[in-house]
């Protein structure tokens, strides 16, 4: 039986199109936790990382991308995150302006529930005619999704109405508008099962087959010239998890939580000290600050921290009451003294100042609505708790908000007793190498065992030599 190699796992076209050694990428993590240093380290190893742009100002994103481009040059691969912002579409649009001006060729589209004009503009501005007459795609989109209906919109061409509006506004060319119907919105769709940060708590074993069915329908309906690739994310922290994803049919894997406990990750040392001690049971679900009113969830660290319980308490109060005045005095005092360490008035002054700078009309509307004002004050805690973690303010460690999934706990257990048990010896590209080489080893061991078992059964039944068991053998 021929040995399975890490270079052969996943889709060969994915590796070729992105110029990668392995079908493995490091996903974006907000506020630059997936830092420029992380992206550069991946690129220099013949791999790829996506810069975490969510929550960064445009000038910060520009500085990081220019630094990456200087360090990696034109030959090595990198990408940047594009975060959907339905509440402030102008922010998303200006981010696309920046990505286009800097000639960023790869993006990770995240948090999209529908296709937006900004995303279409990025995708179509990368279409041109190749010498052989085919459509050349120079802007590659990896869509991170957790629901089949969202995956389906990325497996379709750009919506015709949006294409017409962009053409009429002169934001794409007539040729690009013509080519729009010939390509899907994404080259790669990454299926995000239960993960750190925003999560629908999906189960990979159920999600992946459903996504394959969506792809089959899309390919049959549109006859795209190139197959849409499907990757796996969420829970990928060990060779066993990566091996399982490839056996299920994943064209690539994407990691997240394991990468934030590395030298290159853009978060504080106290956070990394805490992360390296996690086990698989040390995470919990809390409300998402950016979608607080909707009840969306994020997965966060719970070990030694009060943030998950306090965040859930705030959401419970928001659901139960119409204003801060309706909450009993004892609870109001506890929130101000224990959670916020400042008064509601001080929090509102800071929050109002933010809105006056960014959206004055909204500031007035919130102040006039007691329930909205309560929500805005509660949401301050989510911004504050993230800042505490990023800065490593250990005096308020119990309020750290750290997005993380159980993949990191599994990784910590796997490397216990090795030189990378300590995060100060963990490098993002080395983790990729260990996971991919280990995945090949796991598959070789499992398939050798299957062959051995099959040989034994057939020998006992007198049926002779078994046939080859594995499609992976032929890869």
Q: pTM for this one? A: 0.92
Task: Write down the pLDDT at residue 89.
Answer: 86
- Return the higher-pLDDT residue of 177 and 448: 177
Over the stretch 313-337, which tens digit does the pLDDT of each residue have? 999 999 999 999 999 999 999 999 9
The values of phi and psi at residue 142, to 5°, are -105, 120
The predicted structure's pLDDT at residue 13:
97
Q: How confident is the model at residue 200 (pLDDT cuts 50, 70, 90)?
A: confident
Q: Are 104 and 96 in contact (CB under 8 A)?
A: no
Q: What is the pLDDT of residue 460?
A: 67
Q: How confident is the model at residue 458 (pLDDT cuts 50, 70, 90)?
A: low
What pLDDT is stored for residue 455 in this prediction?
Answer: 64
Whole-number pLDDT of residue 451 = 77
Is residue 386 over pLDDT 90? yes
Q: What is the pLDDT of residues 105-135, one digit of tens each?
A: 999 999 999 999 999 999 999 999 999 888 9
Where do the domains of the chain lie?
Answer: 6-267, 306-401
pLDDT value of residue 462: 67
C-alpha angle with apex 386: 382 to 392, nearest 5 degrees? 145
| Residue-wise pLDDT tens digits, 61-92 | 999 999 999 999 988 999 999 999 887 788 99
The pair of structure tokens assigned to 152 is 């389906």
The answer to whether residue 11 scores a pLDDT higher than 50 is yes
Yes or no: domain 6-267 corresponds to CATH 3.20.20.70: yes
pLDDT at 473: 43
* Per-residue pLDDT tens digits for 245-254: 999 999 999 9
pLDDT of residue 87: 77
3-class secondary structure per residue, 63-90 = HHHHHHHHHHCCCCCCEEEEECCCCCHH
pLDDT tens for each residue of 213-226: 999 999 999 999 99
Residue 472: predicted pLDDT:
46
For residue 133, the model assigns a pLDDT of 85
- pLDDT score of 430 more than 80: yes
Q: Which residue has the higher pLDDT, 200 or 336?
A: 336
Tell me the average pLDDT across 172-189: 97
- The whole-number pLDDT of residue 464 equals 57
Residue 468 pLDDT greater than 70, yes or no: no
Quick one: average pLDDT of 3-29?
Answer: 97
| CA distance linking residue 92 with residue 387, whole number of Å | 22
How high is the pLDDT of residue 345?
97
What does the mean pLDDT of the chain come to?
94
More confident of the two residues 457 and 306: 306
> 438 falls in which pLDDT band (50, 70, 90)?
very high
pLDDT band at 2 (very low <50, low <70, confident <90, very high): low
What is the mean pLDDT of the segment spanning 152-175?
98
Separation in Å, CA 1 to CA 8, 22, 245, 268: 15, 22, 22, 47
Higher-confidence residue of 231 and 197: namely 231
Q: Which of 163-177, 321-335, 349-363, 413-427 has the lowest mean pLDDT?
A: 349-363
- Give the distance from CA 56 to its chain's centroid: 16
């Amino acid at each position: 039986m021929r040995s399975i190699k890490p270079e052969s796992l996943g889709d060969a076209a994915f590796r070729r199109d992105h110029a990668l050694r392995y079908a493995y990428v490091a996903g974006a993590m907000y506020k630059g936790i997936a830092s420029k240093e992380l992206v550069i380290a991946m690129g220099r190893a013949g791999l790829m990382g996506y810069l975490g742009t969510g929550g960064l100002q445009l000038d910060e994103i520009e500085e990081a991308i220019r630094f990456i481009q200087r360090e990696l040059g034109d030959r090595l691969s990198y990408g940047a995150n594009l975060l959907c912002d339905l509440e402030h579409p102008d922010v998303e649009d200006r981010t696309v302006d920046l990505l286009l001006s800097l000639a960023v060729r790869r993006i990770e589209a995240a948090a999209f529930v529908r296709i937006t004009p900004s995303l279409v503009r990025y995708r179509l501005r990368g279409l041109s005619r190749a010498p052989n007459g085919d459509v050349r795609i120079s802007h590659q989109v990896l869509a991170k999704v957790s629901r089949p209906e969202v995956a389906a919109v990325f497996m379709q061409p750009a919506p015709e109405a949006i294409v017409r509006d962009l053409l009429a506004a002169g934001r794409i060319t007539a040729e690009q508008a013509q080519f729009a119907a010939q390509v899907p919105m994404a080259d790669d769709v990454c299926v995000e099962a239960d993960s750190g940060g925003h999560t629908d708590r999906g189960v990979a074993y159920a999600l992946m087959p459903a996504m394959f069915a969506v792809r089959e329908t899309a390919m049959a309906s549109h006859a795209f010239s190139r197959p849409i690739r499907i990757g796996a994310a969420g829970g990928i922290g060990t060779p066993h998890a990566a091996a399982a994803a490839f056996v299920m049919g994943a064209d690539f894997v994407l990691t997240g939580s394991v990468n934030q406990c590395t030298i290159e990750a853009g978060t504080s040392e106290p956070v990394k000290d805490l992360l390296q001690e996690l086990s698989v049971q040390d995470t919990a679900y809390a409300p998402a600050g950016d979608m607080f009113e909707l009840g969306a969830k994020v997965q966060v660290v719970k070990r030694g921290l009060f943030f998950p319980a306090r965040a859930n308490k705030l959401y419970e109060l928001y659901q139960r009451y119409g204003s801060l005045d309706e909450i009993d005095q004892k609870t109001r005092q506890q929130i101000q003294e224990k959670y916020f360490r400042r008064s509601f008035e001080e929090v509102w002054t800071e929050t109002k100042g933010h809105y006056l700078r960014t959206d004055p009309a909204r500031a007035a509307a919130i102040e006039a609505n007691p329930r909205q004002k309560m929500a805005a004050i509660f949401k301050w805690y989510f911004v504050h708790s993230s800042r505490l973690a990023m800065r490593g303010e250990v005096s308020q460690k119990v309020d750290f908000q750290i997005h993380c999934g159980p993949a990191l706990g599994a990784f910590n257990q796997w490397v216990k007793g090795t030189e990378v048990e300590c995060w100060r010896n963990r490098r993002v590209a080395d983790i990729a190498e260990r996971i991919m080489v280990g995945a090949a080893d796991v598959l070789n061991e499992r398939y050798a065992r299957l062959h051995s078992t099959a040989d034994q059964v057939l020998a006992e039944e007198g049926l002779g030599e078994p046939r080859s068991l594995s499609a992976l053998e032929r890869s």
